[in-house]
Amino acid sequence: MCRSSESPLDRIMSGLRDLPGWVAEQPAGQIGHVIIKSREIIDRTEALAADATRRFEKAGGYKADGFVGMISWLRVNGKLSGPAAAERIEVAHQLNELPRNEEALARGEIG
Over the stretch 75-93, which tens digit does the pLDDT of each residue have?
999 999 999 999 999 989 9
Please check whether residue 2 lies inside any domain of the structure: no
DSSP symbols for 30-96: GHHHHHHHHHHHHHHHHHHHHHHHHHHHHHTHHHHTT-SSHHHHHHHHS---HHHHHHHHHHHHHHH
Please check whether residue 81 lies inside any domain of the structure: yes
- Count of the separate structural domains present in the chain: 1
Please check whether residue 63 lies inside any domain of the structure: yes
**Mean pLDDT computed over 13-37:** 95
Please check whether residue 77 lies inside any domain of the structure: yes
Please check whether residue 1 lies inside any domain of the structure: no
CA angle (2 as vertex; 53, 46 as ends), nearest 5: 20
Provide the domain limits for residue 59.
Answer: 8-106
Tell me which H or E stretch contains 106: helix 99-106
Give the predicted TM-score (pTM) of the model.
0.78
